[in-house]
Amino acid sequence: MAFEVESLRKILESIPDDNEREEAYRILYGKKCGEIAFPESIHELAKKSSFELKGYIFTAAPEELRPPRITRIGAFQNQIVLPTWDPISKQKDALFKKMTEACHLAGACGVNILCLQEAWTMPFAFCTRERLPWTEFAENAETGASTLMLRELALKHNMVIISPILERDDREVIWNTAVVISNKGQYIGKHRKNHIPRTGDFNESTYYMEGDTGHPVFETEFGKIAINICYGRHHPLNWLMFGLNGAEIVFNPSATVGSLSEPIWPIEARNAAIASSYFAVAINRVGTETFPNEFTSGDGKKAHSDFGHFYGSSYVAGPDGSRTPGLSRTKDGLLVTEVDLNLNRQTKDKWLFQMTGRYPMYAAKLTEATKPGYQPEVIKEDGK
Amino acid sequence: MAFEVESLRKILESIPDDNEREEAYRILYGKKCGEIAFPESIHELAKKSSFELKGYIFTAAPEELRPPRITRIGAFQNQIVLPTWDPISKQKDALFKKMTEACHLAGACGVNILCLQEAWTMPFAFCTRERLPWTEFAENAETGASTLMLRELALKHNMVIISPILERDDREVIWNTAVVISNKGQYIGKHRKNHIPRTGDFNESTYYMEGDTGHPVFETEFGKIAINICYGRHHPLNWLMFGLNGAEIVFNPSATVGSLSEPIWPIEARNAAIASSYFAVAINRVGTETFPNEFTSGDGKKAHSDFGHFYGSSYVAGPDGSRTPGLSRTKDGLLVTEVDLNLNRQTKDKWLFQMTGRYPMYAAKLTEATKPGYQPEVIKEDGK
């Protein structure tokens, strides 16, 4: 693996002047989050699994008529465990074991809603364009092994779990799907990825089509949540619809590599949190995955067998424009973020983006603009 | 004035490790822009007016059937010149003089399209809620003094100029408007601010209503341009519509202060450039403006007579996720950015955001979601 720096935050710590360093943090991260002080026993638990553990706090102003609505969000990022050429069942077992440890750690940290990374049960093999053996990782959303395992862990830890997997439905159609499991251990429902990439080594359109489940918001005991899976983060309308349906926290489980997307990673989920006045949780996998057969992706690169570096850097962005620092670029980790969901409405009342949004105008304009034969509004210099 | 750091970029320069500093730049700014080497005579010209001058270059890959489409974009940020209690005509004259110098400098730098800051002819008095004397700064968009002056400068320098002013129309209605003047010195048209803020000291809804000019794109000799005025940058649909109408460069002339918006300033215009695959040019005014009468803004702050610090930091973001460093947080300045507009279509072909955008689905959904009585898509746990 090429040299990879640990995190942007670590680099910023080396700014020598105290005032300048604090000012850089303010400009880059907004209002400073508090930090959760976990007991030493929990740090030990994290260390046993070699998981980085970070905890941050977003506060809101007290209100007279509403009590605070405190929720602890967990975001877990990880590398795969075994080589991609090992038997499928062994690879799955190893990932199931790691995710069990992640759930136990999240439970010990008091996490209320935990989201795992995109397609967590498998390597991100969608670069290869080979169907077998990779589609063997696909499971039924409601009755598959990962859902059954996580239902138990959700019940045990009284924790909502979002489980992004490769789904095979009853008609043998494959989907990129997030399963939502309640803190009572019940399957609540699922959401299928709305936007499918065909860029770089992300040859996912070979595996699954655009999702057909709309923009559902899942009403849980700990808040209204939605999932914008991976490439959907590039589409502001996707983020917007989850907001219009009432989402208070939108998770963005992803798998993306440094050469393609790293400079835009801090921008998109955060912009969505600002524009829709909700919390956005960006989760990216970690490490470099190598596959048995070489592949190319029509981008002029030589045939290769690795996907490049998944750079982690998972973070939470608040409605007020502030954000947590990112997790490591290189290590497995759990990011615990305690939020007061009252901050969403307080931010709406401060900025009034929803009130000033002129949505009916845009609904009409977008309807016109997407009809064949639409004439764009173009103004030319007189006489031209 | 409170202590204000010069710029984030200056702070980052103090990171001691060379590799780490470069890696911080890569994560924060994306692919490194080249720098324009202006002759010493031009630096002297800038210095004479106490203008910071920076020049950056975005390149694109060569194509076989299209020549490069090189355009030099100018973004000018500035403080007001005289105190706000001086005679209106003197204040205007001083600003007209500064803007003349800015145009001469931009012309000398080979700028093809220059955009000035929001309401550049006046202090940003919309905090005060007093109509007089501030509405005396308003002008007719087509025949006002600022348009007449800039038409001459545009012709002289063969330069398109975007001139954001306070407009008074023939019915005596006030608007926040950007006038577009061609490089032949002709008035091409105007655009009125689509979204009006009511937040912090931005009490602009006392002065003008939401714009009625849609989302026009102005076809100039140097590219198709549009203007998203100030608070419109918080609205992803505003950015989107300019893109759907074919904009290649969208300017965001703004006036915004540190305490309210600084951490979100680097996010929104850049997110728009990424999502719509065009160049976005974010321009903010500079300095602290103090007004004769105290004012309050319903945010619990004591009556005060200044607007806080306008933090400059103007920048250009490319479709590929890269951006220039920002201009100074404290000084007048001209940012010259040479771009190859071919990068827009190349980025579209790489990322396919337009192809994967599913706009007709969103047009239908947005139409539904904005009807009274819309039932959001909410999924609850069984039995609840």
How does pLDDT run across A273-325, given as a tens digit for each residue? 999 999 999 999 999 999 999 999 988 899 999 999 999 999 999 999 999 99
Confidence of residue A36 (pLDDT cuts 50, 70, 90): very high
Q: Is residue A376 a part of any domain in this protein?
A: no
Ramachandran area for residue A358 (φ above 0: left; ψ -120 to 50: alpha; else beta): left
Mean pLDDT to the nearest integer, A323-331: 96
**Any CB–CB contact under 8 A between B214 and chain A?**
yes
What is the domain count for chain B? Answer: 1
Q: First and final CA of chain B: distance in angstroms?
A: 57
As a whole number of angstroms, the distance between CA B87 and CA B197 comes to 28
Q: Is residue A2 a part of any domain in this protein?
A: no
Q: Is residue A163 a part of any domain in this protein?
A: yes
Residue of chain A with shortest Cα separation from B223: A380
Chain B: nearest CA to A33, how far in angstroms? 13
Kindly report the average pLDDT of chain A as a whole number.
96
Q: Is residue B283 a part of any domain in this protein?
A: yes
List C-alpha distances in Å: B127 to A177, B255, B282, B306: 48, 12, 22, 9
Task: Decide if A193 is catalytic.
Answer: yes
* One-character DSSP codes across A74-88: EEEE---SS-TTS-H
**Any CB–CB contact under 8 A between B87 and chain A?**
no
Interface contact flag, A237 B235, Cβ < 8 Å: no
Q: Is A206 exposed, middle or buried (0-12, 13-18, 19+ CB in 10 A)?
A: middle
Q: Is residue B26 a part of any domain in this protein?
A: no
Give the CATH number for residue B69.
3.60.110.10
Residue of chain A with shortest Cα separation from B329: A27
Reference A337, options A244, A258, A273; nearest CA is A273
Kindly give, in sequence order, each residue whose CB lies less than 8 Å from that of residue B174, ignoring residues fewer than 6 positions away.
Answer: B135, B138, B166, B167, B168, B207, B208
How does pLDDT run across A147-187, given as a tens digit for each residue? 999 999 999 999 999 999 999 999 999 999 999 999 999 99
**pLDDT at residue A384, rounded to an integer:** 55
**Any CB–CB contact under 8 A between B89 and chain A?**
no
Mean pLDDT by 10 residues, chain B (384 residues): 80 95 94 96 98 98 98 98 98 98 98 98 97 97 98 98 98 98 98 97 96 98 98 98 98 94 96 98 97 93 94 98 96 98 98 97 97 95 68
Q: Is residue A26 a part of any domain in this protein?
A: no
**pLDDT at residue A266, rounded to an integer:** 96
In contact, B177 and B127? CB cutoff 8 Å: no
**pLDDT at residue B1, rounded to an integer:** 45
Q: Is residue B10 a part of any domain in this protein?
A: no
Pairing of strands B52-58, B333-340: parallel
Determine the angle formed by the axes of helices B236-244 and B265-276, rounding to 10 degrees. Answer: 30
How does pLDDT run across A227-280, given as a tens digit for each residue? 999 999 999 999 999 999 999 999 999 999 988 899 999 999 999 999 999 999
Which residues from chain B sit within 8 angstroms of residue A20, using beta carbons?
5, 11, 14
Residue numbers of A between 304 and 323 with CB closer than 8 Å to B: 321-322
In contact, A146 and A161? CB cutoff 8 Å: no
Interface contact flag, A263 B220, Cβ < 8 Å: no
Which residues from chain A sit within 8 angstroms of residue B264, using beta carbons?
30, 274, 321
Pairing of strands A202-203, A198-199: antiparallel
Q: Can you name the residues that pair with B53 across neighbouring β-strands?
A: B334
Which residues from chain A sit within 8 angstroms of residue B365, using beta carbons?
214-215, 241
How does pLDDT run across A102-146, given as a tens digit for each residue? 999 999 999 999 999 999 999 999 999 999 999 999 999 999 999
Q: Can you name the residues that pair with B198 across neighbouring β-strands?
A: B203
Q: Is the pTM of this model over 0.95?
A: yes
* One-character DSSP codes across A21-74: HHHHHHHHH-SPPEE----HHHHHHHHHTT-EEEEEEE-----SSS---EEEEE
Radius of gyration of chain A from its Cα atoms, rounded to whole angstroms: 21
Residue numbers of B between 41 and 70 with CB closer than 8 Å to A: none
In contact, A293 and A306? CB cutoff 8 Å: no
SS3 label, residue B2: coil
SS3 label, residue B20: helix
How does pLDDT run across A176-219, given as a tens digit for each residue? 999 999 999 999 999 999 999 999 999 999 999 999 999 999 99
As a whole number of angstroms, the distance between CA A211 and CA B6 comes to 47
ipTM entry: 0.96
Mutating which of A365, A368, A382 best tests the B interface, going by the most B Cβ atoms within 10 A?
A365
**Any CB–CB contact under 8 A between A259 and chain B?**
no
Q: Which domain holds residue B89?
A: 33-369
**pLDDT at residue A1, rounded to an integer:** 45
As a whole number of angstroms, the distance between CA A298 and CA A289 comes to 20
As a whole number of angstroms, the distance between CA B192 and CA B239 comes to 14
As a whole number of angstroms, the distance between CA A9 and CA A277 comes to 25
As a whole number of angstroms, the distance between CA A164 and CA A173 comes to 16
Phi, psi of A150 (to 5 degrees): -70, -25
Confidence of residue A383 (pLDDT cuts 50, 70, 90): low
As a whole number of angstroms, the distance between CA B272 and CA B234 comes to 10
Catalytic residue among A101, A193, A248, A338: A193
Q: Is residue B362 a part of any domain in this protein?
A: yes
Residue of chain A with shortest Cα separation from B24: A8
As a whole number of angstroms, the distance between CA A212 and CA B205 comes to 41
